[in-house]
Amino acid sequence: MSLHPGSSLSVLLGRRLPPSAGEARRAHRSAAAGAMAPQRRSAPRGPESGSGTAAAPDRGGRRHGSAKKSRGQPEPWWRWLKAACLLCSAALGGLLSWSCLSAEDGVTEVLAPHSENLQGKFIEIPCSEDYDSHKRFEGCTPRKCGRGVTDAVITREEAERIRRIAERGLSLGGSDGGASILDLHSGALSLGKHFVNLYRYFGDKVQDIFTEEDFALYRDVRRRIQQRIAQDFGISSSSMYLTKPTFFSRINNTEAKTTHDEYWHPHVDKVTYGSFDYTSLLYLSDYTEDFGGGRFVFMDAGSNKTVEPRAGRVSFFTSGSENLHRVEKVHWGTRYAITISFTCNPDHGIGDPVLM
């Protein structure tokens, strides 16, 4: 579940750009008044800085400072100019690289670091108008909008057990691209470039993959997340209904093969899935330990906020445009999560999965 005048290079480098060729020659002439220029060991004593004109004659009437020497003297300036240009190029390359990363990331604040064990964090934000175009249900349809994160609802051990359910189910299939889906409610399972119905396609084999204990844990986790959402938004949990799609996701850095694999695009859940009123995600793996990239990004005006996944962490939010979001591309490893969505409309409700 898943857009936003640079300084000149001379300012970025903290120094003036190197002088032009004309400036270099003028500075070189003025150096004859006192600066000491590079010279050969065989050069005679006397004024040695040189200039663009011939040197004064010595006692024998001979003049020093040949044309060859005059041509050679500016060389240190050109070397300096070349070095400065290389420095500018390196700085420009670094700036462009930083810009590209910033354009992909756009992140300015970490809302929930993976290193912190959060009992609860909730931020209230103004509701969008998305809910006005849908039937309203008193006591459930969001009037208080926002987003929350907690590590206190599901334990790491429970998250690991839930993850093993996902791993076993996804072992039967998997996408050719980087994003695989398993929906225990509808039976939808990624298989190559398509989806199959897990229960029909594999039949009785499914009972060798899942147990009644797996589904009981699934129901209990769903119930506790539902209660926490209701508590933080000040509504009754009985007015909320599980809705579709609710699914496991497994994401790695394999190149996308179909549009279903392109999970990183910004979107609004209420627009994408009209039934959604409240969205939650339970993370089943750890950012920086199990995978890199893959952070969840709320795309706020002027200041994006990220949630860094952590096994057992629950992130939840109202599903309207007030919570435009995306997921960063996963760069390495494998990211597991389950999206659990809720509606206020009983007509869009679904039941918990049962082992067939």
For the annotated catalytic residues, the residue numbers are 335
**Cis bond upstream, residue 245 (ω within 30):** yes
Q: Structure tokens of 37?
A: 């220029």
Please, which residues have CB within 8 angstroms of residue 135's CB and are 6 or more apart in sequence? Answer: 345
> Closest Cα to residue 340, out of 165, 196, 151, 184?
184
Residue 351 near residue 301, CB atoms below 8 Å: no
Helix (H) or strand (E) holding 99: helix 75-105
Residue 56 near residue 50, CB atoms below 8 Å: no
Q: Kindly list the distances between the CA atom of residue 186 and the CA atoms of 146, 254, 351, 356, in Å, as whole numbers in the listed order.
A: 29, 26, 10, 12
Residue 312 falls in which region: left (phi positive, over 0), alpha (psi -120 to 50) or beta = left
Distance from C-alpha of 274 to C-alpha of 143, rounded to nearest angstrom: 17
> Closest Cα to residue 306, out of 280, 327, 285?
327
| DSSP at 258 | S
* Phi, psi values for residue 111, rounded to 5°: -75, -40
> Closest Cα to residue 154, out of 282, 344, 280?
282
